[in-house]
Structure 1
Amino acid sequence: MADRDVAAGAPEFDDQFQQELADLLAWRRDVRHFRSDPLPDAALDDLLRLAALAPSVGNAQPWRFVRLRTPELRSVLAKHVDDEVEQAGARYGDDGRRALYRSLKLHGLREAPEILAVFSDESPDAGHGLGIQTMPEALRYSTVMAIHTLWLAARARGIGIGWVSIVDPAAMTELLAVPPDWHFIALLCVGYPEAPSAIPELERRGWQARHAWVAGLIER
């Protein structure tokens, strides 16, 4: 009875909800093709509020979101990523992979109505250092959890997110003039996708199919 008393008021997630959650996970996409129409008023605030429900080491909540709204800044950023994409493409040989790489659209920085840069605070006031004495990188893992929470919350509302990783972290820190103890984690494009697809784009384009889940399981 005591256990039931402790759990009083907790929601019950029935079979229908569990299936819908599985559908949400399966339909999460890394979006690169965005419509340019803006998000509804307060939509981004709502998503960030939900992202803040993510777990974090010591309850440190180290995620820091920077919203990029200045057209000039966004233009500089898009040019920076274009240059990084070009340099990254040089590593592929001439076996067809390079041509496929160059045909991919790797960011939506010019189309997405919202751009977020995400940093992890390496010395947050919250948390009192709990859980990071031997693994300080757990702060960064916590920030990634917040991004994933944001991603799922957005997808549930029909909003797409694209994670742009072909970017120089040092350049991001300098460009956005953030505190020196903030570590760059992600650049996110946020907006409505042009056309949701049942098959992820990289798989659809022949770059890489998803492995079966057992590929990541090792037993000792």
Structure 2
Amino acid sequence: MDDAFTGAERDALYKAIFSRRDVRGQFLPDPIPEDVLRRILLAAHHAPSVGFMQPWNFLVITDPAVKARIHADFATANEEAANQFDGERRDLYSRLKLEGIREAPVNLLVTCDRERAGPVVLGRTHMPTMDLYSCVCAVQNLWLAARAEGLGVGWVSILHESALKAILGVPERIVPIAYLCLGRVSHFESTPELAIKGWRQRLDLDDLIFRDRWDNRDSPPD
């Protein structure tokens, strides 16, 4: 059929998926060309959304002063987070670099407008959080497109939502979904950084698959 992927196109998609990384410390200062930024935002805008409500907005941040205020909130939140771990786990946490807010040339806040499609939305009548999940799909689209463009992306979740909204002037009804750092990088790690640093390892897929019922573990193929 005409819309079938060629073998090379299929392989390129899987390459983007398997080589995507959460980047923290490898950002270069090179600016992102506007046409490239536009392409990855367009990819995000073509994510699936329940009821085709398209609840996302994209707030692009390049002002160093704004980044500095966001980073100051991260520093406070990160110290609070470190105190929730004990012993060796806390020591390891304190050694991890968990953001690239000031180093990345572009920061991006992806948000969700939960009122965009009105009070009753196709597909949200029984699962009202589907608008939030739709925005996460937009984040994933953006992340894969960025990887294909040679850009690194880092998701910073160690922030106070109230401070984030105040600094960026986000309206009360709008929900922040993902604060992302974007930019060219010196390299992409071959393995997720948290695995390299010993925080967690990737789980075995066969342990996560069930068939027909939750208590019926799927058998891997021979």
TM-score normalised by L of structure 1: 0.90
1 CA distance for matches of 2:45 and 2:19? 22
Quote the residue 1:106 is aligned against. 98
> Are the aligned partners of 1:58 and 1:127 in contact in 2 as well (CA < 8 Å)?
no
Matched ranges for 1:53-202 at <5 A: 53-94=46-87, 96-125=88-117, 129-202=121-194
1 CA distance for matches of 2:76 and 2:45? 33
SS class of match (1:67): strand
Point out 4+ residue stretches in structure 1 off by more than 3 angstroms.
125-128
| Residue deviations 1:72-94 (CA, integer Å, cap 9, x gap) | 21111001001111110011111
Quote the residue 1:38 is aligned against. 31
- Match of residue 9, structure 2, among 13, 17, 42: 17
| Residue deviations 1:129-155 (CA, integer Å, cap 9, x gap) | 111122121000000000000000000
Quote the residue 1:4 is aligned against. none
- Match of residue 202, structure 2, among 190, 199, 210: 210
> Are the aligned partners of 2:62 and 2:105 in contact in 1 as well (CA < 8 Å)?
no
The Cα RMSD (Å) is 1.6
1 CA distance for matches of 2:103 and 2:167? 20
> Are the aligned partners of 2:36 and 2:149 in contact in 1 as well (CA < 8 Å)?
no
Q: Given residue 43 of structure 1, which amino acid in structure 2 is its aligned partner?
A: V
| Residue deviations 1:15-46 (CA, integer Å, cap 9, x gap) | 33222222211101001121111112322111
Structure 2 gaps, min length 5: 214-222
> Are the aligned partners of 1:161 and 1:189 in contact in 2 as well (CA < 8 Å)?
yes
SS class of match (2:98): coil
- Match of residue 19, structure 2, among 12, 15, 27: 27
2 CA distance for matches of 1:135 and 1:169? 23
Percent identity among equivalent residues? 37
Quote the residue 1:3 is aligned against. none
Structure 1 gaps, min length 5: 1-6
1 CA distance for matches of 2:68 and 2:118? 35
Q: Given residue 212 of structure 1, which amino acid in structure 2 is its aligned partner?
A: D
Work out the number of aligned pairs and report it: 211
